[in-house]
Structure 1
Amino acid sequence: MTAFVLVSGGYTGGWIWRDVAARLRESGAEVHPVTLTGTGERRHLAGPGTDLALHIEDLVQVIDHVEAPEVVLVGYCYGIYPAVAAAERRMDRVARIVYLDSPMPQDGYSVLGQVQEQMADEATKDRMLQQAERAEDGWRIPVPTGEEWQAWGNLAGVSEEGLERLRRLASPQPLGTLIQPMELSGATAKLPTTGVFCTDGGTMDIATLEALVASGAPLVQDLVDPRVGFFELATGHWPMLSTPDELAEVLLRAAADEGHRLTGAP
């Protein structure tokens, strides 16, 4: 049996996977939605020392306690950072990493460092950096307001009920999780990988990625590999809230090694 370990993004927790987890379990899969320390229902455990290393250890412990022999590790948005680092520490247990509408973490960069250095969308870059500057008590980034979620969140397709859950259950984000640099060896390049793009209002899709590969862009050449597949979801940045059935189907297909393969540069 395959076990899915679902890692949420910033300001949220394991609650965000409720509907997707239900669909996956109906298929017979073992599912572990993770609430990282200091987020979601564990927000009361947050403090100035809550950082990326703690979230990596959270995931290592989850992986160690999964009984299924294979783990499909799904990292959404911020969640891909601790997911990739945890996978490096448990290469023998992770069968696949799924990048769900997320960046590609780079060795030596923090989340915000990568935003500062590599993000092309200036408005999004400024918004993320300004949020960090608003950290209360020097370490706790406040939850976006309802208006901020609507303006920044790419909430295309999310129902009013989903928006209400997001507004009600979102939690502050510990600053340390965003400013601690990643330490990666690159070992996870050996693991099967799936990328899932949310294309409604998103900045990346399979066609754009194929064009980047064809241009010879160095950062994406490693993605031309038979172990790497891709899917698209025609929704905004919150597919677990907007299209849980479709997302669950994509995750099951990813676990079965399906997905679009890229061709190399000419």
Structure 2
Amino acid sequence: MSQNQQENTELQGAKEETLVSHLVELRTRLLYAVVAVLVVFGILCIYPGSKELYDFLAKPMASTLPAGDKMIAYGVITPFLVPLKVTLLVAFVLALPFVLYQAWAFIAPGLYKHEKRLVLPVVVSSYVLFLIGMAFCYFFVFQTVFHFIATVSPESINFAPDIEAYLDFVMTMFMAFGLTFEVPVVVLVLVGTGMVSVEKLKGARSYVIVGAFIIAAVLTPPDVISQFMMAVPLILLFELGLVAARFVKPKAQDTLPQE
């Protein structure tokens, strides 16, 4: 075997060894993340309990029902499975910082210094803003929307939602408002990576306003109140992102060598 062939063989072996080591590390990080979610899930099942968590989630709807009325369950095991689904979702949200840390630990060695400085604040702020969006939806939007639905419901209809359909609706709304509150982060990333300038974003303000109401019309129930409760925060958060973006140095001005 010639020297070139030997070098190529060694290089190929090194690449395969590197790939295997990355896959092993990825499997380990995923395992840690899954175990963290399951541990939090087990703790929540013990305290406060899956029933209590679902009752808390259903409180906005239950408060709008007539006195003595409750939500209904069509399936035989639905009253058991739905609270467990809620508990698992809550466990995932609570364990998400640790899950994101595992993702960060896996990709961090391959990032440049300026990318590391950008990723960590983006991840932390995204998580916090997502929680704020969910809280805004739970404490303000749900009360308004459910009260509106109960008010306009005809007297001949017994308004008693199914618990599984309610969970699907709540999760959709949580996701919609959580992503809506990510607008400042999106603006900061666009400016920080040099993809667009603050001046261009300001020039697109009118399109953002129209787009906010279109997105709200698609994601929220077909009532004006809930649409405004999504569109208005989206616009305000866009403006907040513009203010914060003034303090962000674009990537073109901040290129640093890899560590």
For the criterion TM > 0.5, the same-fold answer is no
The structure with the largest helix share of the pair is 2
Where on the TM-score scale, by shorter chain, does this alignment land: which range?
under 0.3
The structure with the largest strand share of the pair is 1
